[in-house]
Amino acid sequence: MSRRSKIREKIMSRVHVDEATGCWIWTGPTSGESGRGAGYPRMSLGGQTVAVHLVMWTNEHGYIPGKKEIDHVCRNRLCVRPEDDHLELVTRKRNILRQWEARKAAMVCEEI
């Protein structure tokens, strides 16, 4: 079995597929409950703790360039599905704009 296959198998062993959203929900450890990076999936790989969504992306698509980052298009931090309607390679600016748009939309929903 290839290294890529082993990594994918390790990740998928801790994933629950949400039939309603199509998200691949990580059921393993996360980065905790509070703080800036809270709520992201974490796993051990090669003796280091790594972000699962980043590992899944690079495992399936390759290197993440220095000026890019991965955005959870589906807005679910626990989602590790590497397709573009869930995780997408974007600029920092685009990621921030999407976060603001999502927060704005959430505030509108709360007002209704």
Q: Which of 23, 32, 28, 10 is nearest to 79 (CA)?
A: 23
Give the relative orientation of helices 3-12 and 52-61 as an angle to the nearest 10 degrees. Answer: 140
pLDDT, mean of residues 24-44: 91
Residue 53: is its pLDDT beyond 90? yes
Question: Are the beta carbons of 111 and 84 closer than 8 angstroms?
Answer: no
If you average pLDDT over residues 48-67, what whole number do you get? 96
35 has pLDDT over 90: no
Chain CA centroid to CA 23, Å: 10
Answer whether 56's CB lies under 8 Å from 80's CB: yes
Could you report the per-residue pLDDT of 19-29, keeping only the tens digit for each? Answer: 999 999 999 99
Reported as a single tens digit per residue, the pLDDT across 65-94 is: 999 999 999 999 999 999 989 999 999 999
| pTM summary value | 0.87
DSSP 3-state of 31: coil
Question: Quick one: pLDDT at residue 84?
Answer: 86
On the question of pLDDT at 36 being above 80, the answer is no
Mean pLDDT of 46-59: 96
